[in-house]
Amino acid sequence: METAEIRRRFVAHFERHGHTVVPSASLLLDDPNLLFVNAGMVPFKPYFLGQETPPWQRAASVQKCVRTLDIEEVGKTTRHGTFFQMCGNFSFGDYFKEGAIRFAWTLVTGSVEDGGFGFDPEKIWVTVLPSDTEATQLWHEIAGLPFERIQERGLEDNYWNMGVPGPGGPCSEIYVDRGPEYGPDGGPNADEDRFLEIWNLVFMQESLSQVRSKADFDVEGPLPARNIDTGMGLERVAYLLQGKENLYEIDEVFPVIERAAELTGRTYGADPVDDVRFRVVADHVRSALMLISDGVTPGNEARGYVLRRLLRRAIRSMRLLGYDGPALRELLPVSRDRMKLSYPEVESGFDRISRVAYAEEEAFAKTLLAGTELFDRAAQDVRGTGQSALSGAQAFTLHDTYGFPIDLTLEMASEAGLSVDEDGFRALMAQQRERAKADARSKKGQHADTAVYRGVLDEHGPTDWLAYETLETESRSLALFSGGAPVPVLRAGEVGELVLDRTPFYAESGGQAADAGTIEFDGGRLEVLDVQRPVRGLVVHQVRVVEGELPASTKALHARVDHEWRTGARQAHSGTHVVHAALREVLGPSALQSGSYNRPGYLRLDFGWTSALSPAQVHDIEQVSNQALRADLPVGWQYMTLEQAKEWGAIALFGETYDDTQVRVVEIGGPWSRELCGGTHVEHSSQIGTVVVTGEASVGSGNRRIEAFTGVEGFAYLARERDVVFRLTGLLKTQPDDLVDRVSDLVERLRSAEKEVEKVRVAQLLSGGAALAADAQRIGGVHVVAHRVDGAGGGDVRTLATDVRGRLPQGEPGVVVVLGALDGKVAVVAATNDEARARGLSANDLVRAVGPLVGGKGGGKADVAQGGGTDTSRLDEALALVATEVSRTVGA
């Protein structure tokens, strides 16, 4: 049974039993605790935490998930996969244990002909919490399971909580007996390789006040409504139903292994070490495909760093398997063709996905080249100190700073006859992971406590939000907060949060900044500093008291949005849609917005693209945008379901969460621009005024940013540009049309003059080279020049040192050390000829000897080495040391 069919059956089963099928959320959710969605219930957290009211009582989903803690374990076990799919059914105060158990049992053991999975009931075992006698009895009654196949496990295994105060409850796990060839009999308590868990049913029934660990928490009392949260591992069920050994061999993953085997000429199943590499390739290629599909681009931080690691580990594994060609171009399309059966977007967006992935592979090839040079330098340093092992710190720096994989470092060290302090490296990696966990734990405590806002919402209902309809409302105060707690009054100069029964203010969202304006009341006035929605449905104003005192019980307030602010905000937000449409028209449909920000008169738009735009492309984007303004295109919006919006061609942005039942689609010029958007907009494109693109730059690997001014701010920018042109034409005595040529001519003449000056300067520097060579000191038969040059930097010092070396008598040993001092810094260069090196003299050793005296260090090769320092007071001592070192080496 193919994975896509298992997925379909799961969804159909719960749809038949009254569940609303909720599409998978993006892997990227706005949750400070998570890089990625890592469990099927994550999109439903606001409902379980009581922050939002669920729109359905029963729901089912197949959620895309990524877990990153065990990336290095991928391929070594049958269970660890970075990307996986979690099938879940959820009840919000509807059915409870009996329903959850019955639904799961009928699907797992139901016949294939009737839409079930067809597992043999005699091979099913379950675990329960010892105190959950109700679940034990239900499994016995509903499924007919004998009590010996219902095993008890403690809190660590069979109690669920979120790790923070909130809902919790016992859970019951379903296991499938794979047979005696996989381990001993005796159920999950005896062996979890033979008895494989496929489904976990969580019975949320308690409110936890403190959570110290998975098994150490305080129960505050029962939840107001009991909920069900389940999770069934789609990949696990797939490899059981497909008769495979592990998740890497299922139909959605194994074709990549097959293609990798073809490319490398190696056989999967022939070598355990190679098998791990094949699995890493298959898992990471699929995971990268899904991450890029959801808008992640490679980078050096957070999500981008995870994706970069996955791609580079896959490429590196192919290299270890013997394939040095462009691997992703061969493997990514294979993964696409399997995953598109469940996720059509990986096919429709493959042009963008592949561009991002292939660019990263090309970048990694350059990293390998640069990393090899860094490794060679580190290896040389190790040998120079008489050691035979790279330190853990050196290996960690190569890995963490330069993206050089540790296994590559190990391989190259072995080839160079060196070892690596792997224990030191692992310790530093562990410290880094612990810092990351500590940071995550600290962020976990930074969740805003929404309980006070939830209380207002529960008591008064949602805010009557009128931002689309008016700029002024007569309102009354519902609540007043300061520092997250209710207060009776705000006095002049104080800042607090005000909740109104109705408001015309736009709350920051969708990249649009919050409205500015004032709120007036009898005897006073407030300045609105910010407007947010801490919980869905409630609008909260951050205000500063400008005049008077504001009691919490104020019944009559006049809220007024700054008209000019809103006008500029509408122009900028509509301008963002116009630029996005122009971008896609110029670059193609794969140039999709990945983020935006707009405030009155200004917009910036981030989009996935792997190379810098040419000036002509930027010009075309600006021109297409302004042609749309000139065409006075109508701007409209309407509400529809998310599915209807997608069918209509509306663009949804990466990482955004949308209501399944109703979304707002904004269109400009009909199908030319259709996007899901909750912002405020102009009514015709001409009202934007103008779009002036002011810049285009990189904001990370595979991500670009366009910035532009709109409206009055756009015209003001053009006026400033005009003034600059006017002043330059006056200074250069030329016409505007000739200005570029005139400036180019001046720049070229300046460059030529600088080159001539440089030639003269170098000639003067080298003019004394012959004299220095002629005056060389003789030490033990070696010509030695130790010279100081004030006002010279590293490049000049190197030039002089090599020049003097070339002037020393041919066929006789010679050593040159030149020290330069410039702006408080010291440059040291040593150069030796062949005859000197035959006598045991090394430029690298001389630089290492001199370096500490000038407060620095350095190194290089035996013929030329270079270093630097910051202590100019001991230059003469350093020069004297040269003669001492030469004398010691040659035994003079």
Q: What is the pLDDT of residue 547?
A: 94
Question: Is the confidence at residue 654, as pLDDT, over 60?
Answer: no
CB 318 within 8 A of CB 260: yes
Considering the domain architecture, whether residues 111 and 127 belong to the same structural domain is answered as yes
Considering the domain architecture, whether residues 177 and 35 belong to the same structural domain is answered as yes
Sheet strands side by side (includes 777-779) = 777-779, 782-790, 814-822, 825-832, 864-869, 857-860
Distance in angstroms (rounded) separating the CA atoms of residues 697 and 704 = 6
**Domain contains 380:** no
Of the listed ranges 207-216, 510-519, 811-820, the least confidently predicted one is 207-216
The single-letter code of the amino acid at 758 is E
284 is in an annotated binding site: no
**Domain contains 366:** yes
Considering the domain architecture, whether residues 173 and 274 belong to the same structural domain is answered as no
The model's pLDDT over 775-812, given as tens digits with 9 standing for 90+, comes to 999 999 999 999 998 888 888 889 899 999 999 999 99
Question: Is the confidence at residue 441, as pLDDT, over 50?
Answer: no
Residue 811 maps to which CATH number? 3.10.310.40
Q: How many CB atoms lie within 10 A of CB 473?
A: 22
Domain limit, last residue, from 373, 408, 433: 373
Helix or strand (DSSP H, E) at 134 = helix 133-138
Considering the domain architecture, whether residues 422 and 544 belong to the same structural domain is answered as no
Distance in angstroms (rounded) separating the CA atoms of residues 422 and 428 = 10
| Mean of pLDDT values over 186-205 | 94
Distance in angstroms (rounded) separating the CA atoms of residues 29 and 59 = 19
Considering the domain architecture, whether residues 438 and 463 belong to the same structural domain is answered as no
Distance in angstroms (rounded) separating the CA atoms of residues 243 and 250 = 9
| Of 328, 46, 72, residue with least CA distance to 162 | 46
CB-count burial class (<10 Å; 0-12, 13-18, 19+) for 333: middle
Distance in angstroms (rounded) separating the CA atoms of residues 843 and 855 = 18
Q: CA torsion, points 293, 299, 304, 306, in degrees to nearest 10? A: 110
Contacts of 110 (CB under 8 A, 6+ apart): 13, 116, 117, 118
| Of 547, 505, 543, residue with least CA distance to 522 | 547
End-to-end Cα spacing for the chain: 84
171 is in an annotated binding site: no
| Of 110, 146, 139, 77, residue with least CA distance to 6 | 110
**Domain contains 367:** yes
Q: CA torsion, points 322, 325, 329, 333, in degrees to nearest 10? A: -20
User: Cα–chain-centroid distance for residue 687?
Assistant: 37
CB-count burial class (<10 Å; 0-12, 13-18, 19+) for 244: middle
**Joined tokens for residue 358:** 């292939």
CB 762 within 8 A of CB 797: no
Tokens 């959850």 belong to 100
Fill in the DSSP letter of residue 509: B
Handedness of CA 652, 465, 662, 683 (dihedral sign): negative
DSSP annotation string for 403-415: ---HHHHHHHHHH
**Joined tokens for residue 462:** 């949602």
Q: Whole-number mean pLDDT of the chain?
A: 90
Look at strands 540-547 and 495-500 and give their pairing: antiparallel
**Domain contains 496:** yes
**Joined tokens for residue 36:** 């990625």
Q: What is the pLDDT of residue 658?
A: 57
Of the spans 162-171, 376-385, 482-491, 650-659, which averages the highest pLDDT? 482-491
Contacts of 886 (CB under 8 A, 6+ apart): 779, 780, 782, 784, 815, 841, 892
Confidence of residue 686 (pLDDT cuts 50, 70, 90): very high
Sheet strands (E) in 516-654: 517-521, 524-532, 540-547, 550-551, 557-561, 593-599, 602-608, 635-640
User: For 637-649, b where at least 16 C-beta lie within 10 A, e where not — what string?
Assistant: beebebeebbeee
Helix or strand (DSSP H, E) at 361 = helix 350-384
Question: Is the confidence at residue 532, as pLDDT, over 50?
Answer: yes
Compute CA distances 376 → 704, 851, 857, whole Å. Answer: 34, 21, 18
Confidence of residue 443 (pLDDT cuts 50, 70, 90): very low
The model's pLDDT over 229-288, given as tens digits with 9 standing for 90+, comes to 999 999 999 999 999 989 999 999 999 999 999 999 999 999 999 999 999 999 999 999
Q: What is the pLDDT of residue 448?
A: 47
CB 384 within 8 A of CB 859: yes
Compute CA distances 751 → 740, 758, 795, whole Å. Answer: 16, 10, 19
% of the chain surpassing 70 pLDDT: 95
The model's pLDDT over 169-194, given as tens digits with 9 standing for 90+, comes to 999 999 999 999 999 999 999 999 89
Contacts of 71 (CB under 8 A, 6+ apart): 82, 306, 309, 310, 313
CB 311 within 8 A of CB 47: no
**Joined tokens for residue 772:** 């220095």
447 is in an annotated binding site: no
Describe the crossing of helices 350-384 and 392-400 by its angle, rounded to 10 degrees: 160
The model's pLDDT over 90-105, given as tens digits with 9 standing for 90+, comes to 999 999 999 999 999 9
**Domain contains 572:** no
Q: What is the pLDDT of residue 445?
A: 39
CB 887 within 8 A of CB 776: no
| Mean of pLDDT values over 424-445 | 66
Considering the domain architecture, whether residues 442 and 477 belong to the same structural domain is answered as no
Domain limit, last residue, from 345, 373, 401: 373
| Mean of pLDDT values over 49-64 | 90
Tokens 């060290």 belong to 413
CB 40 within 8 A of CB 231: yes
CB 675 within 8 A of CB 650: yes
Q: What is the pLDDT of residue 403?
A: 66
573 is in an annotated binding site: yes
CB 679 within 8 A of CB 510: yes
Look at strands 166-177 and 857-860 and give their pairing: unpaired
**Domain contains 609:** yes
Distance in angstroms (rounded) separating the CA atoms of residues 50 and 208 = 13
Contacts of 857 (CB under 8 A, 6+ apart): 848, 851, 867, 869
**Joined tokens for residue 4:** 């896509």
The model's pLDDT over 590-648, given as tens digits with 9 standing for 90+, comes to 888 888 999 999 999 998 888 899 999 999 999 999 999 999 999 999 999 888 888 88
The model's pLDDT over 541-587, given as tens digits with 9 standing for 90+, comes to 999 999 999 999 889 999 999 999 999 999 999 999 999 999 999 99
Distance in angstroms (rounded) separating the CA atoms of residues 501 and 108 = 50
Considering the domain architecture, whether residues 71 and 177 belong to the same structural domain is answered as yes
Question: Is the confidence at residue 444, as pLDDT, over 50?
Answer: no
pTM above 0.85, yes or no: no
Residue 524 maps to which CATH number? 2.40.30.130
Residue 104 maps to which CATH number? 3.30.930.10
The SS3 assignment for 30 reads coil
The single-letter code of the amino acid at 257 is I
**Domain contains 24:** yes
**Joined tokens for residue 171:** 């859970």
Considering the domain architecture, whether residues 471 and 515 belong to the same structural domain is answered as yes
Considering the domain architecture, whether residues 652 and 700 belong to the same structural domain is answered as yes
Based on the structure, what is the number of domains in the chain?
7
**Domain contains 581:** yes
Find the domain containing 582 and state its range: 577-720
CB 153 within 8 A of CB 140: no
Considering the domain architecture, whether residues 432 and 489 belong to the same structural domain is answered as no
Distance in angstroms (rounded) separating the CA atoms of residues 772 and 608 = 58
Please write down the HEC assignment for all residues of 49-117.
CCCCCCCCCEEEEEEEEECCCCHHHCCCCCCCCCEEEEEEEEEECCCCHHHHHHHHHHHHHCCCCCCCC
DSSP annotation string for 185-253: SS-TTT-TTTEEEEEEEEEEEEEEEEEEETTEEEEEEEEEEEEEEEEEEHHHHHHHHTT-SSGGGSTTT
Considering the domain architecture, whether residues 401 and 326 belong to the same structural domain is answered as no
Phi-psi region of 790 (alpha: psi -120 to 50; beta: other; left: phi over 0): beta
Question: Is the confidence at residue 859, as pLDDT, over 80?
Answer: yes
Q: What is the pLDDT of residue 536?
A: 85
Considering the domain architecture, whether residues 763 and 777 belong to the same structural domain is answered as no
Question: Is the confidence at residue 404, as pLDDT, over 50?
Answer: yes
CB-count burial class (<10 Å; 0-12, 13-18, 19+) for 781: exposed
